[in-house]
Every structure is written in C-alpha cells, then in structure tokens.
Amino acid sequence: MKETPLKKISRFSSLPFAAIGALVLGACGSVFAQISEEAMNVIAIPDKVETAIGQLEFFDGVPNDYTIDKLYDNLDRMRGVEVYLNHSGAGSLNAMRKGNASIGADSSNKVTITEQLLKPASLYLTGNTSTLYALTYLDLKSDGPLVVELPPGMLGFLDDAWFRFIGNLGVIGPDKGKGGKYLLLPPNYSGEEPEGYFIVKLPTYNNLMFLRGSIAKGLDPAVENIKSKLRIYPLAKAKNPPATEFINMSGKSYSTIVTHDFSFFEDLNELVQVEPIDAIGPEMRGQLAAIGIVKGKPFNPDSRMQKLLNEAAILGNATARAISYQPRIDGVFIYPDTNSSWTTAYANKNTSFEADGVMNLDARPLFYFNATGVTPAMATSHPGAGSDYALAYLDADKKAFDGSKTYKLHLPPHVPINNFWAVTLYDTQTRSLLQTSQTFPTVGSQSEGFQKNKDGSYDVYFGPKAPEGKESNWLETISGKSWFTILRMYGPLEPWIKKTWRPGEIEPVK
C-alpha cells in the first residue's frame, strides 16, 4: 500500500523543520507545489517538539490531548504570573490594609502611628526609623464621603486601591502645611460638594492616607500634634463626628507583606468585587478574567487552577526579586556610567511607571515589591528640601551581601545634606527592617557618638561583630542571612542631585 504524505511526515517527525518542509513538498506533489520550502519551514510544526515545558506532540499540526493540557497549564500559569506582577501594587496595599487591621486599625477613623518610631518587630516594606508615620485605610464604600481634618506641618499623600498616586496633603498639598479640612469623595459621587473643604475625588473606594511628621523639635510634640488634631469622620456625621482612634504600632509584631501563594489571588478577588469596574482598564481586567477573577462572579478555581496559581505566585515573587537584584531596564542605576551598585526605587524617577504612552512593566514591580507609598514628592529633588534615597542590594563586586562578613561604606567629606543622612539595614526576605540586637538598624549623622574621620568623611561598618573602636559606626548583620541597605539623604544639596558628590561602594573588609 502506498504511503500518504501524512505518514511520511510522521515517520520523519524528528527531522529539522527544513527537512520536513522538503518532505512535505516532495510528497504532496502538485498539491503543495506552489508553497515554497522556505514558507513551509516557518509554517509547519513537527509531530514532536522539544520546548521549555517538555515535549509537545502533534498529528499533522493538531495537538494531542496531553499536549493541549500541558499548553493550557502553561498559559494559565503565565497569566497568573502576569497578574501577580502587574497587580503587585494592589496586592501590596491590600496586604498592608489587612496587616494593620490585625492590630485594630480596621476602619477609616482608626489610625496607626509610630509613637516610638518604626521598630524591626513590625514587617513593613523598607520603612525608616527616622521619621514619624501615621496612616490609615479609608473605606468610602462603608463611610461615603469622608472628612479629614489635617494637622499643620504634615507631609502626606493619598494612594488608591491599586497603589496609584491621587494627591498630596500637607506641606506640598493644597493646605501648604497649614492644615485644613479635606473632603474625600467616592467614585461616581453626584451629591453636593459643600464649601470650606479641599475636595479630592477618588477613583476607588479603598484608599491609603499616609502621613509623615517632622521630629526636628522632638518626637513627643510631633506625636501630640497628630493625635490632638487629626480627625477622620463621614461627612454624614459631621455634626456629631465619632472619635478618631490611634493605635501605636511601634514594636508590635505583625506583617504587612504581600504573600506568594494562592491567597494573593483570593485577596485580589476581594478587592475587585468591592471596587468600581472601571478602576482598571480592559486589558488589566482581561488578565484577571483569564484566571477567573471577574467582578460580580464567584472566584472558585478548581484544584488544578489553585495549584497553577500557587506556582504563579511563587514565580511572580521570584521574578520580582530578579528585577530588584539585577535590573535590566534603564533609569535604575544612579551612576550608570560606572559599575556602581547604587540604585533607585523609581526607574527614571517616574512614579506613574508610564512614559510616552508605554507602561514600564518591570519598573512597577521593582517599586511595589520593595517599597510603599507613591507620590512624585519622593522622586523629585529640590536642593535643601525633601529627601532622596539610594539603595544597595549588592556589594562593590555585584555580589549578594553575606551577613557573616564585614563590609565598609565610605562617605566622602562634606556630605551634601541640609538636614541629616541615615543608613538603614533591611532583611532580603521581608524587605523590612533587619531584626538584630540593635533597637534600630540605622546609623547616621544623627546617631549619638557617631565618629567622623579627620578629613570630614565617614565610614559605616556592617558585620556580625563591630570592628574594635567602631561600635558607634556599626550596623549588626546576621551570619547565614543576607541584607541590603538604603542611604537616605534628608535635604539633599546640589552636589548630590547633580552627582558631583557620590557615596563609595560597599566593599568587603579584607
């Protein structure tokens, strides 16, 4: 019996595409005579193909059931990874909301505050130990329009449920640091807008209000300024407003860090069900729908899908770490003309992650995986005002920091700041303050007894034990763990901004 062209292809399925194309042309005679070998090389698929997800099998281009299952598993897992990375802001903010609710801050008028500054017991993404924090999660779904009576001297902002910037408050907000009444309006609000308020229209029901207070005149008066003057209440209860409660988070052991398992997607679904459908665009909604998260519908993935989404969360978390430690996008390295390890959290100082109509898909998780609070004020440097940050994830040789080794950071003379500078250590797993025997894993120009070199320069040491005579300039690390650090410049001056002054690299001490 004469072989058909199909059987000939099957017999030689292990041959290269070019050979298969030649066989197809030769076997099919006049049927395919007008299709060139070159065209077939990029059209036909062999009966067996080795890929990154294993061998795929076809019958004349038709995938068998085993291959179809494998491809759909891969597709669902990939889409899960995309959701994890692209919705990393929403996931992180929701984790913060749940974490703070666990210590009692479970409504708009319950505010967490660091009365004794932030301490390592609280897992908080790259928080600092040098400023006073006060924050709350505003629930306009439950409360409707909200009134915020803001104290004077605040530096704050509002972010929506996807951790996108909405507006500034305080010194760089419309009240110009004098304080005042803000009226926050929920999505699609069509009611009255009474006079006497700074009006802010919010695109989501859940929003973060983040405040920082200066402790230049002491921590206690800064705390009292907030606790005695900050008020949050529904507009409907303005005539008899409920009290605003304050929860001291200093030293409390709890987590606000996003998970890397199936619960990430469960939490994201809860958020989607609450928020307006147009809070995100069709493309982002499509990504969610592809894995079963649709507004107005239950999220009930079967065991197969739960397993794939659990794997996706692990891969998403791992990918965010790769983006953090070896960024390949422009605008991350502060000194790109050198081999410096110093980086910035905001690629190209862009807090929207979008430029020229293009969303930077790596810049977004780069920030959200490691930091909290989005405002252009954190990426804009004005000589002598505000603050700026430099991150070192790797040492001078581009290697991970080893907690069993000793390292040194040299800061040249005349550190260009109008206020103060500080170096803080973080845990590479939690991206939170490193937990050691030190109360605060921070040293800097405000540290008591901090030693200055004769030429006006400074040296900071990192290691499991302090070098002899350098205890005041030392940050403790832990053997068997890695770490990373952030150099914060408060009131940076022109030499920092123009990069004519720069910190040394963090080098192993031989």
Within 192-255, residue ranges assigned H as helices are 219-229
> For residues 199 and 193, is the Cβ–Cβ distance under 8 A?
yes
Q: Could you report the per-residue pLDDT of 369-387, keeping only the tens digit for each?
A: 999 999 999 898 889 998 9
How crowded is residue 312: how many other Cβ atoms within 10 Å of its Cβ? 27
Helix, strand, or coil here: 261? coil
Residues with Cβ < 8 Å from 232, sequence gap 6 or more? Answer: 108, 109, 111, 136, 138, 146, 147, 148, 149, 209, 244
Q: Could you report the per-residue pLDDT of 407-455, keeping only the tens digit for each?
A: 999 999 999 999 999 999 999 999 999 999 999 999 999 999 999 999 9
Domains parsed from the chain with CATH numbers: 103-255 (2.60.40.1610), 329-508 (2.60.120.600)
Say how far apart CA 246 and CA 509 lie, in whole Å.
Answer: 45
Mind listing the pLDDT tens digit of every residue in the chain (510 residues)?
Answer: 444 443 333 444 444 444 444 444 444 444 455 888 888 889 999 999 999 999 999 999 999 999 999 999 999 999 999 999 999 999 999 999 999 999 999 999 999 999 999 999 999 999 999 999 999 999 999 999 999 999 999 999 999 999 999 999 999 999 999 999 999 999 999 999 999 999 999 999 999 999 999 998 999 999 999 999 999 999 999 999 999 999 999 999 999 999 999 999 999 999 999 999 999 999 999 999 999 999 999 999 999 999 999 999 999 999 999 999 999 999 999 999 999 999 999 999 999 999 999 999 999 999 999 999 999 998 988 899 989 999 999 999 999 999 999 999 999 999 999 999 999 999 999 999 999 999 999 999 999 999 999 999 999 999 999 999 999 999 999 999 999 999 999 999 999 999 999 999 999 998
